[in-house]
Amino acid sequence: MLNVFALGEPRPLFNDQDLSNLMQGYLQEATQAVQSIPPDELLNTPTDDVVDALVEKHTFTPPVLKRDEAYIDGPPEIEIRRVDFGQEFRLPGTLIALVVPFDGEAGLFYTNPNWYGHVLRANLHYNNLVLTIRGSNLQTSTVNKQFDALLDEIEQFLGRQRAMADQHKQTLPQRLKPMVETRKQKLLADRQMVAGLAFPIRARKDAPKTYVAPVLRKKLQVSRPATTAPFKPEPVLDDANYRAILDIIQSMTLVMERSPTAFAKMGEEDLRQHYLVQLNGQFEGAATGETFNYQGKTDILIRVQDRNIFIAECKFWRGEKSFIETVDQILSYLSWRETKVAILLFNRNKGLTTVLAKVQATAREHPHCKRGPTSEDVTRFRYIFGNPSDHNREVILTVMVFDIPT
């Protein structure tokens, strides 16, 4: 049984400090934390992961009362003192305590969310809020109403706290992300890591436009991001050129949809060859005429210094289990951060809408999926995955689903 008397007199709630001042302090601490992260740790951790960790550390969680778990403690007998016309009377009375468990940060019971009402008093005992009512002739119905009224008022304060906490948590990433990126850029500049790895992929001047959407093709180039010590840069394909490659693949698929009889009997390898012809018809490498190569049965890839900087897997949709195996397979090829990959899923089943829903749900539940999907088209979904060997090394995985005629 709880010893109510050992808790002392109930303290005023929501009265010690303003929540807005506390939020400003969290923001200042988070800003200072950006500058205190060790340089190598900062450079080797994706910006979004850095921001997520800072937000987790520099936000707050208002208490949530578990009113359905509340219980009455007592009632002990007490002595009620009253003064009437200068004369003191002592009457037998009763002290009833309501113990209400809660989740969240206990200290926020003493923080004011820029709102004032009645002065509320209570005690805290570990993760319990203890409300007390005392009197000489207490009635059950009256006590219940008083406790409910107190809890309702406390809930109003906590509700305002939660609204402020949610706003703080939503705006904090927007403030911190530019700071993190600015410091990363400065660190890279200080280390003279701006220069990119020369690996140009040039658009062919005579490239046919049969399968290509009418967009301006830019010179493709590989840049060097930061990696772990000794901080040697790795070749990667920049995002604009990655998207350009995916757009060509999607445009090629539109041709398949418009000419179904020509592609109805093709398998994965035959379909892959059509993509290779079109991609190499649009871009050329610095060393060879063919930038896009193949390896194994289904890969479409670009290799630089014996490393894959772009990989696409061509697979027919054969259910969730087969799709997971394809994701695992493509992730197994990777050994560094910010690699761009794609999975081309060909569907010959009825009900493409059902297939799309399964693809999105399955990818989202993969143990290495960090964020996504971002829908870039009704059948094109972009995810951020963590490299299986190190989740700080992020992989952009785009899944493209196409209906192939039968």
pLDDT digits (tens, 9 = 90+) for 55-67: 999 999 999 999 9
In this prediction, residues 314-329 reach a mean pLDDT of: 92
**pTM of the full structure:** 0.60
CA nearest neighbour of 146 among 89, 91, 72, 84 = 72
Residue 2 has pLDDT above 80, yes or no: no
Query: For position 349, what pLDDT does the model report?
Result: 79
Q: What share of the chain has pLDDT > 70, as a percent?
A: 76
119 beta partners: none
How far apart are the C-alpha atoms of 404 and 406, rounded to whole Å? 7
Least reliable range by pLDDT among 84-98, 156-170, 352-366: 84-98
Asked, as a colleague might, if the bond just before 230 is cis with ω within 30 of 0, I would say: yes
Query: Which stretches of 36-141 are assigned E, i.e. beta strand?
Result: 64-65, 71-73, 77-84, 87-103, 111-112, 121-125, 128-135
140-190 vs 19-36: helix axis angle to the nearest 10? Answer: 30
DSSP secondary structure letter of residue 76: P
Contact 384, 396 (CB under 8 A): yes
Contact 51, 177 (CB under 8 A): yes
Rounded to a whole number of angstroms, the CA Rg of the chain reads: 32
How far apart are the C-alpha atoms of 257 and 269, rounded to whole Å? 18
CA nearest neighbour of 263 among 245, 280, 275 = 275
Query: For position 146, what pLDDT does the model report?
Result: 93
Least reliable range by pLDDT among 158-167, 234-243, 368-377: 234-243
Least reliable range by pLDDT among 93-97, 204-208, 318-322: 204-208
Structure tokens belonging to residue 62: 């208002």
pLDDT band at 80 (very low <50, low <70, confident <90, very high): low
pLDDT band at 266 (very low <50, low <70, confident <90, very high): confident
pLDDT, averaged across the chain: 80
Query: For position 1, what pLDDT does the model report?
Result: 60
Residue 185 has pLDDT above 70, yes or no: yes
What residues contact residue 125 under an 8 Å CB cut-off, 6+ apart? 2, 7, 99
pLDDT digits (tens, 9 = 90+) for 99-145: 999 999 999 999 999 888 778 999 999 899 999 888 777 788 898 99
What residues contact residue 28 under an 8 Å CB cut-off, 6+ apart? none
**What ranges do the domains of the chain cover?**
4-188, 195-403
Contact 115, 150 (CB under 8 A): no
Q: How far is CA 391 from CA 89, 101, 338, 387, in A?
A: 71, 37, 11, 5
pLDDT band at 159 (very low <50, low <70, confident <90, very high): very high
What residues contact residue 19 under an 8 Å CB cut-off, 6+ apart? 108, 111, 112, 113, 114, 161, 164
